[in-house]
């Protein structure tokens, strides 16, 4: 970047140096100084850049952009001009424009770390997580290169840039053997193991890193993200508040805060944050999608659909946004939507994640139109893509059932009678996804004594901790360890569950629901640690339940559902273990058969309330009038009266479901009873 001037060079240089110093002290004075230079030397490029920067720092974004736009067009290859243009566009919410400007900056100067940082932040906002990850890694490489020039750190950062976290981990562990307190290496190792799926280990490394370097902002941001992924939203919020104290308008921090607040049921705050961020950064398709999720949960269906529409308009290839529309269940696509989704699927550069979500969305669209063959084709393709991404082993589940039956005997429960935490607060609604469990939850949450929460991860987290395995490849001590726990330990575990879930309780109602379906695998843990808790087994016809699960793309946690054989075996394992508990703890769990609820809801609701020790209330029959937040795929459906059309819906697909029938075996023919195991 150069400029022509008739002023004495020394005078201009001195004035420019003074203006640059003022930028960090008083941006308004810097703007005045730059303006004075421009009066003397019109169109002076560096003075114009300082003026634009000062205007941005002073908060006058419209004027900053009016100053920068012509400068940016004139100096497309100037790294400082494109960098400043990127920051101003980002601050003004023009995220796509910011991405382009930062890309121009790094193209002109590949070693400009600040431009890579800006690009990473902008790409995160537009939902390009893979691109943001690469940009962050490039930034790290350059920061190291500009600092200690450590070859080991450089090699590890290069491996992360190349998408090889395993290689990065090896190099970083070797470095930490000699320098165990190196914060840069600890943070980078945390990133590597997080990419490898070891979030708990990443947390430990980041905590250590921040003990050594409390002001390491990037590490704190990583820690907040890891804590959120681990389901520890309260802990994530603590870290986010520290980050936001320094950067109160940082959209990435605010988006994560909104997501964490939604996880703990603070929907009003979450929605308000999304609205504020989207007003300032409207070009943010994943932000609109997350906002839509929050709106869906509180029942604002029209606003939710509009938010999802905004996401697909901004990013037509964002498969998850199309699927989010389909997953409203009551939404119907038109022919233009189908053509748009098919056009995206035809792209060779589409990611597998976008592709599978589009397949699920098209499966639902063709299902609604009664085109069963085309619908199944898309569902099967989406499920196959998702199955290939997961390391699911059905034998692990089979072994867990066998081990549970061996250790959780009638004698064990008799010996532990009267132990555990006596609180009667929890009502566990469990079974399989798509079994009618959300309907049961909605009915119970319509009672004046019961609060609905969400699918809580806490029982599973406690079980995982008891097992002691750091990964699925390591042997677990669970469930056998349950037989070794003394009365104090059992009581402490029950109390821990109550303490962990207290954040989800927003009312003074004495009872609350945990609707995590996977808790059927932990009925023994629940019975031993919370002997007065209620356990409700929501069960649906195996063909209807399993096929409904197969054609549902779950956000997380249901890896068994992406193969007809897998989900059939999982259902059979579930029936077997629940039959065992029926035998060793008779009457402990109450079973609700979905088809019976549909035929005679009042009788089934009365029996359900009797089991819970609750008096009948008419509001439970009118559950669809309850405006509580519902955080499952059935959120729209349970806001309508009970409908019968889903009971036999699977029969439209029966000709493709032989693998499911074979996997279910006698569980199918004996339903609703259980076969002899």
Q: Which two tokens stand for residue 541?
A: 């016809």
3-state SS of 120-134?
HHHHHHHCCHHHHHH
Cα–Cα distance for residue pair 525/498, rounded to 1 Å: 14
The angle, 0 to 180 degrees and rounded to 10, between the axes of the packed helices 319-326 and 285-297 is 20
Reported as a single tens digit per residue, the pLDDT across 156-205 is 877 887 888 999 999 999 989 988 988 888 998 999 999 888 899 999 99
Structural class in CATH, domain 9-189: mainly alpha
pLDDT value, residue 125: 84
pLDDT (tens digit per residue) in 366-416 = 999 999 999 999 999 999 999 999 989 999 999 999 999 999 999 999 999
Separation between Cα atoms, residue 404 and residue 480, nearest integer Å: 7
Residues 24-77 have pLDDT tens digits of: 778 888 888 888 888 888 888 888 888 888 888 888 889 999 999 999 998 999
pLDDT for res 111:
86
**For the chain, the helix, strand and coil percentages under 3-state DSSP, each to the nearest 5:** 70, 5, 30
Cβ burial of 411 (10 Å; 0-12, 13-18, 19+) is exposed
The confidence score (pLDDT) of residue 152 equals: 75
Phi, psi of 451 (to 5 degrees): -110, 130
Give φ, ψ of 93 to 5 degrees.
85, 5
| pTM summary value | 0.81
Query: For residues 289 and 313, what is the distance between their CA atoms, to the nearest angstrom?
Result: 11
Q: Which of 85-89, 155-159, 638-642 has the lowest mean pLDDT?
A: 638-642
DSSP 8-state symbol, 249: T
Same fold yes or no, 9-189 and 394-670: no
40 versus 538: which is more confidently predicted? 538
**What's the pLDDT score for residue 588?**
96
Q: In whole angstroms, what is the distance from residue 395 CA to residue 270 CA?
A: 40
Using a pLDDT cut of 90, give the percent of the chain over it: 68
Alpha-carbon torsion, ordered 136, 141, 143, 145, to 10 deg? -170
Name the residue with higher pLDDT: 50 or 357: 357
- Report the pLDDT value the prediction gives residue 627, as an integer from 0 to 100: 61
238-273 pLDDT per residue, tens: 999 999 999 998 998 999 999 999 999 899 999 999
Look at residue 359 and give its three-state secondary structure. helix
**Which of 139-153, 164-178, 425-439, 614-628 shows the lowest mean pLDDT across its residues?**
139-153
Q: What is the pLDDT of residues 423-455, one digit of tens each?
A: 999 999 999 999 999 999 999 999 999 999 989
Q: Using alpha carbons, list the distances in angstroms from residue 518 to 395, 556, 570, 604, 612.
A: 16, 12, 11, 23, 21
Q: What is the pLDDT of residue 194?
A: 92
DSSP H or E segment with residue 536: strand 534-539
CATH for 394-670, among 3.20.20.70, 3.40.50.300, 3.30.210.10, 3.40.50.150?
Answer: 3.40.50.300
191-195 CB contacts, 8 Å cutoff, 24+ apart: 191/160, 191/165, 191/222, 192/156, 192/159, 192/160, 192/165, 192/166, 192/168, 193/165, 193/169, 194/222, 194/226, 194/229, 195/160, 195/165
In this structure, of 84-98, 223-237, 439-453, the range with the lowest mean pLDDT score is 84-98
- Per-residue pLDDT for 635 more than 50? no
Integer Cα distance of 197 and 211 in angstroms: 23
Q: What number is the average pLDDT over the span 632-656?
A: 69
**Best CA proximity match to 1, nearest among 78, 104, 84:** 78
Give the lowest-confidence range in 122-131, 276-285, 541-550.
122-131
Write out pLDDT tens, residues 175-184: 899 889 888 8
- The residue ranges of every structural domain in the chain are 9-189, 394-670
pLDDT-based confidence at residue 4 (cuts at 50, 70, 90): very low
Given this model, what pLDDT does residue 137 score? 78
Mean pLDDT estimate for the chain = 90
Residue 143: its pLDDT value, please? Answer: 65
Q: How confident is the model at residue 639 (pLDDT cuts 50, 70, 90)?
A: very low
**pLDDT score at 645:** 62
pLDDT (mean) for 492-517: 95
pLDDT band (50, 70, 90) for residue 474: confident
Phi, psi of 428 (to 5 degrees): -95, 120
């Amino acid at each position: 970047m150069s400029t022509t001037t008739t002023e004495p060079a020394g005078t201009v240089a001195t004035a420019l140096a003074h203006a640059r110093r003022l930028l960090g002290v008083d941006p308004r004075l810097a703007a005045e100084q730059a303006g004075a230079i421009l009066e003397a030397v019109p169109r002076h490029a560096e003075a114009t850049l300082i003026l634009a920067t000062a205007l941005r720092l002073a908060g006058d974004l419209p004027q900053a952009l009016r100053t920068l736009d012509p400068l940016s067009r004139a100096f497309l290859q100037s790294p400082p001009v494109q960098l400043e243009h990127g920051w101003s566009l980002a601050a003004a919410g023009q995220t796509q424009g910011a991405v382009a400007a930062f890309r121009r900056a790094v193209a002109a100067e590949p070693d400009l770390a600040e431009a890579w940082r800006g690009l990473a932040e902008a790409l995160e906002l537009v939902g390009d997580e893979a691109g943001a990850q690469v940009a962050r890694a490039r930034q790290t490489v350059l920061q190291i290169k500009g600092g200690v020039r450590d070859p080991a750190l450089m090699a590890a950062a290069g491996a992360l840039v190349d998408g090889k976290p395993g290689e990065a981990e090896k190099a970083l562990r070797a470095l930490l053997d000699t320098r165990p307190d190196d914060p840069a290496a600890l943070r980078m190792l945390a990133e590597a193991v997080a990419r490898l799926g070891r979030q708990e280990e990443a947390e430990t490394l980041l905590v250590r890193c921040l003990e050594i370097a409390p002001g390491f902002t990037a590490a704190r941001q990583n820690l907040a993200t890891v804590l959120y992924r681990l389901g520890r939203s309260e802990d994530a919020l603590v870290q986010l508040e520290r980050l936001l104290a320094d950067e109160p308008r940082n959209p990435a921090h605010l988006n994560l805060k909104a997501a964490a607040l939604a996880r703990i049921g603070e929907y009003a705050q979450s929605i308000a944050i999304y609205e504020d961020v989207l007003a300032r950064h409207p070009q943010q398709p994943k932000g609109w999608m997350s906002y839509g999720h929050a709106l869906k949960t509180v029942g604002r269906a029209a606003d939710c659909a509009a938010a999802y529409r905004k996401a697909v308009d901004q990013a037509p290839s964002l498969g998850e946004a199309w699927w989010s529309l389909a997953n409203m269940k009551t939404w119907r696509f038109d022919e233009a939507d189908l053509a748009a989704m098919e056009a995206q699927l035809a792209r060779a550069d589409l990611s597998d994640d976008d592709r599978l979500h589009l397949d699920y969305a098209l499966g639902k669209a063709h299902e609604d139109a009664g085109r069963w063959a085309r619908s199944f084709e898309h569902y099967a393709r989406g499920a196959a893509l998702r199955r290939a991404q997961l390391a699911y082993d059905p034998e692990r589940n089979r072994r867990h059932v066998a081990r549970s039956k061996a250790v959780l005997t009638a004698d064990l429960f008799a010996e532990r009678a009267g132990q555990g935490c006596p609180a009667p607060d929890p009502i566990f609604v469990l079974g399989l996804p798509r079994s009618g469990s959300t309907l049961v939850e909605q009915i119970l949450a319509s009672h004046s004594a019961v609060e609905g929460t969400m699918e809580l991860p806490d029982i599973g987290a406690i079980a995982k901790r008891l097992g002691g395995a750091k990964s699925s490849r390591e042997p677990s001590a669970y469930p056998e360890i349950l037989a070794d726990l003394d009365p104090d330990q059992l009581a402490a575990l029950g109390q821990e569950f109550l303490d962990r879930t207290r954040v989800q309780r927003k009312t003074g109602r004495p009872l609350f629901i945990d609707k995590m379906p996977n808790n059927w695998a932990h009925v023994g843990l629940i019975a031993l640690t919370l002997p007065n808790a209620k356990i409700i087994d929501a069960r649906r016809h195996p063909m209807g339940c399993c096929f409904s699960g197969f054609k549902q793309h779950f956000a997380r946690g249901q890896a068994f559902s992406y193969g007809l054989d897998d989900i059939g075996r999982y259902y059979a394992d579930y029936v077997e273990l629940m039959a065992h508990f029926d035998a060793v703890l008779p009457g402990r769990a109450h079973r609700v058969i979905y088809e019976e609820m549909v035929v005679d809801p009042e009788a089934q609701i009365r029996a359900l309330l009797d089991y819970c020790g609750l008096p009948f209330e008419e509001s439970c029959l009118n559950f669809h009038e309850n405006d509580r937040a519902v955080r499952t795929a059935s959120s729209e459906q349970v806001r309508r009266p009970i409908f019968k059309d889903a009971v036999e819906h699977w029969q439209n697909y029966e000709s493709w479901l032989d693998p499911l029938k074979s996997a279910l075996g006698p569980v199918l023919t004996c339903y609703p009873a259980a076969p002899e195991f």
